[in-house]
């Protein structure tokens, strides 16, 4: 009996080693390379590009969404007021530019002409008064102080004539090019400010960046959102890939684009056509810094075998078996949309 026990132990260890090698180590023949791995998918942490309290969450976990679909929104009252204020600023700048480009109205020019004629009449009256008083000084009918006052009034009236004439010329010439250019620049600045407020308002809505499945709801109505805090997690379920590991000894036989097929334990009778999409440029699980030739053969490289998943039968973490056709250098890569 004591002699039989060691034999049984050796057989059990051998059976265990054979089973481990069967399910863990990749198998291959001349045409087909078999690998084992797990289904993997991409995910995105969706965040609002604004800081405000959450108003609505419109999707549930597990719900399918399409690209551009509204998923959630923030309170918008403050952002809407900012947009209205910016729109008013743009309209004011636009009207100011229109006014400058239109130039002076005929009524304004007529008014300035009338004011010039009135100034001329006042200047002539003041000049006549000055001349009359000057002739009366010799007859001692007027004082020199009165003459000086009349002279000053005449000069002031003449200055008013020149001012009225200059004002008329300005109206006739219209606004300067520099003033129009400045008004255009102010209008562009106001329009740019409006675009900023409109973008801030748009940022209060969270849209789906692509087709996918809502995996988790992180925020709820009433929570404070900001660009650093995810609100939802979106899983991109099509295409998916199998994350497997390729031994270094077989690295030279597998190339990106090779045809492959995937079988899952959940659907053992169904094969999903796929293709080799990625081979890691670096080894993983290196046992030592300096390897013997035997240890170097144990280095593995991550490989991803992609496949379309229109019915979403392949899910994250699901074990899968991959068969790579080593005789087909390139596969027809389908459009998984």
What is the C-alpha separation between 170 and 164, in angstroms, rounded?
10
Total Cβ atoms within 10 A of residue 128: 12
More confident residue, 336 or 197: 197
Among 76-85, 124-133, 157-166, the range scoring the smallest mean pLDDT is: 124-133
H helix count then E strand count, the chain = 6, 13
pLDDT of 9 above 80: no
pLDDT of 265 above 90: no
What is the C-alpha separation between 225 and 204, in angstroms, rounded?
10
Residues of the chain above pLDDT 70, percent = 78
pLDDT of residue 24: 44
Contact 300, 247 (CB under 8 A): yes
What is the rounded average pLDDT of the residues 273-301?
A: 68
What is the rounded average pLDDT of the residues 4-26?
A: 43
Q: DSSP letter string over 205-272?
A: EEE-SSSEEEEEE---TTPEE-TTS--EEEEEEEEEEEEEEEEGGGGGG--TT-EEEEEESSSTT--E
Contact 34, 323 (CB under 8 A): yes
Q: What is the CATH number of domain 26-42+238-325?
A: 2.40.30.170
Among 69-73, 280-284, 291-295, the range scoring the smallest mean pLDDT is: 291-295
pTM of the model: 0.64
pLDDT 10s digits, 170-215: 666 666 778 788 888 999 999 999 999 999 999 999 999 998 999 9
pLDDT 10s digits, 23-67: 344 444 567 888 898 999 899 999 999 999 999 999 999 999 999
What is the C-alpha separation between 95 and 99, in angstroms, rounded?
6
pLDDT of 12 above 60: no
pLDDT of 124 above 70: yes
Contact 43, 236 (CB under 8 A): yes
pLDDT of residue 72: 97
pLDDT 10s digits, 232-242: 999 988 889 99
pLDDT 10s digits, 217-258: 999 999 999 999 999 999 988 889 999 888 888 888 888 888
Q: Where are the domains of the chain?
A: 26-42+238-325, 82-199
Strand-pairing partners, residue 246, are 301
Q: Which two tokens mark 43?
A: 């995910």
Determine the longest span between alpha carbons in the chain, in angstroms: 166
What is the C-alpha separation between 214 and 332, in angstroms, rounded?
30
For tokens 């007021």, name the residue: 81
Among 162-171, 180-189, 258-267, the range scoring the smallest mean pLDDT is: 162-171
CA-based angle 20:26:27, to the nearest 5?
A: 100
CB burial of residue 104 (10 Å; 0-12, 13-18, 19+): middle
Helix, strand or coil, per DSSP, at residue 99: helix
Res. 135 pLDDT band, cuts 50 70 90: confident
Helix, strand or coil, per DSSP, at residue 274: strand
Distances (CA, A) of 49 to 76, 78, 225: 13, 15, 9
Helix (H) or strand (E) holding 294: helix 293-296
Average pLDDT taken over every residue of the chain: 80
Res. 139 pLDDT band, cuts 50 70 90: low
pLDDT of 20 above 50: no
Strand-pairing partners, residue 133, are none
CB burial of residue 276 (10 Å; 0-12, 13-18, 19+): buried
Distances (CA, A) of 210 to 42, 46, 101, 177, 207: 12, 11, 48, 50, 9
pLDDT of residue 28: 43
More confident residue, 142 or 200: 200
What is the rounded average pLDDT of the residues 96-125?
A: 74
pLDDT of residue 161: 77
pLDDT of residue 107: 67
């Amino acid at each position: 009996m004591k002699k039989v026990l060691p034999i049984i132990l050796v057989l059990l260890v051998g059976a265990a080693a054979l089973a481990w090698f069967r399910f863990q180590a990749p198998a291959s023949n001349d045409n087909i390379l078999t690998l084992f791995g797990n289904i993997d998918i991409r995910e995105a942490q969706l965040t609002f590009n604004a800081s405000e309290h959450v108003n609505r969450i419109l999707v549930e976990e597990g719900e399918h969404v399409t690209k551009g679909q509204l998923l959630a929104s923030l309170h918008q009252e403050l952002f809407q007021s900012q947009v209205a204020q910016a729109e008013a600023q743009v309209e004011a700048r636009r009207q100011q530019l229109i006014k400058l480009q239109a130039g002076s109205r005929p009524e304004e020019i007529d008014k300035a002409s009338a004011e010039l004629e009135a100034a001329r009449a006042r200047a002539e009256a003041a000049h006549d008064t000055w001349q009359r008083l000057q002739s009366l000084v010799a007859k001692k009918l007027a004082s020199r102080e009165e003459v000086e006052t009349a002279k000053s009034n005449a000069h002031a009236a003449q200055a008013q004539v020149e001012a009225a004439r200059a004002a008329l010329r300005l109206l006739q010439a219209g606004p300067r090019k520099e003033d129009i250019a400045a008004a255009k620049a102010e209008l562009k600045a106001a329009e740019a400010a409006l675009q900023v407020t409109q973008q801030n308002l748009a940022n209060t809505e969270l849209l789906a960046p692509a087709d996918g499945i809502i995996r988790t709801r992180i925020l709820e109505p009433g929570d404070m959102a900001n660009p650093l805090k995810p609100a939802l997690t979106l899983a991109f379920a099509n295409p998916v890939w199998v994350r497997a590991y390729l031994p270094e000894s077989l690295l030279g036989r597998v190339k990106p684009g090779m045809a492959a097929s995937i079988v899952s334990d959940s659907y053992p009778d169904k094969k999903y056509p796929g293709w080799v999409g990625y081979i890691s440029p670096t080894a993983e699980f290196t046992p030592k810094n300096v390897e013997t030739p035997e240890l170097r053969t144990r280095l593995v490289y991550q490989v991803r075998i992609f496949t379309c998943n229109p019915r979403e039968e392949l899910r994250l973490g699901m074990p899968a078996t991959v068969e790579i056709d080593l005789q087909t250098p390139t596969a027809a890569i389908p459009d998984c949309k």
